Copies of this chain bind each other. A is one copy, B any other.
């Protein structure tokens, strides 16, 4: 058992997902903020990258010396008709190229919920699998790892029908090389099989990113009430230990969607992230 990494002495092990301060700062400011506060990485969202410009974003992030821990996001493969599913595939192929341009470690996949009007989870899950299959050859050819992010079961209807790490890893097993999973504590902390599945993911070298935030009690909103690390009930240290034991040695990405933190002063949010015990 190796010793856990000491985050308190090394902010460069942290990455800032840009959603965390997206209401306060544009991407250029977030890049500057990451540098100012000593973050080692950044996890940008495509809309923010598009606003600044792909090449300009890539140049600034590179100049800042930041690791792009993942580009958010591809996915959303589920659709009511064939045209919709093809449009999703086309967009994902673009996203892969954007991730390459940014030098991202992976492209994060939020796979998509039930198509409008559908109650067929099994069919939606097949659509996700087919979508991933359709983009994988291109992803492999440009060496961009595809990171399936299992989302909390409360998002099964409208965001992702991939809801457990085990389910994501089963898909990885079927898809083969070039695909892995994001372990986001917010989505997986409750899972009775978490330790087993993280160890499995490590053995197969499938852990492509590790995201942190916290689960607040009470949680007042399904989407926008994530907590700062330490403010909730997730055993962050326990899960990080599992992930590191499994061989993950990449950065730890802070991703907090919160109406509360979005109205705070951005430098204060970032400072809170750095002071939190993870």
A: which residues have CB within 8 A of B? 114, 118-121, 125, 152-154, 156-158, 163-164, 166-167, 189-192, 215, 217-219, 222, 232-235, 238
**Which residues in B have their C-beta under 8 angstroms from that of A235?**
119-121
Name the residue among A114, A153, A215, A217 with the largest chain B CB count within 10 angstroms. A153
Excluding A153-B190, A157-B219, A218-B222, 13 further A-B contacts by CB distance (< 8 Å) are A114-B233, A118-B233, A119-B238, A121-B190, A153-B154, A154-B219, A156-B189, A158-B218, A163-B190, A163-B192, A164-B192, A166-B192, A219-B222
Report the Cα distance A192→B192, complex, angstroms: 14
Contact B222 A191 (CB under 8 A): no
> Chain B nearest CB: distance from A244 CB in Å?
18
A234 to chain B, nearest CB (A): 7
20 A–B contacts, CB within 8 A, in A order? A114-B233, A118-B233, A119-B233, A119-B234, A121-B190, A121-B235, A153-B154, A153-B191, A156-B189, A156-B190, A157-B215, A157-B219, A157-B232, A157-B233, A158-B217, A158-B218, A163-B192, A166-B192, A167-B192, A219-B222
In the complex, which residue of chain B has the Cβ closest to the Cβ of A167? B192
Residues of B within 8 A of A233 (CB): 114, 118-119, 157
Looking at A125, A157, A164, A222, which has the most chain B CB atoms within 10 Å of its CB? A157
Contacts of A222 in B (CB 8 A): 154, 218-219, 222
> What residue of chain B has the Cβ atom nearest to residue A218's Cβ?
B158
Residues of B within 8 A of A153 (CB): 152-154, 190-191
Residues of B with C-beta under 8 A to A167: 192
Bound CA span A57–B151, Å: 44
A191 CA / B119 CA spacing, docked (Å) = 13
Return the 7 tightest CB-CB contacts between A and B, nearest first: A156-B190, A153-B190, A119-B235, A154-B154, A167-B192, A157-B233, A157-B217
Q: Which residue of B lies closest to A155 (CB)?
A: B190
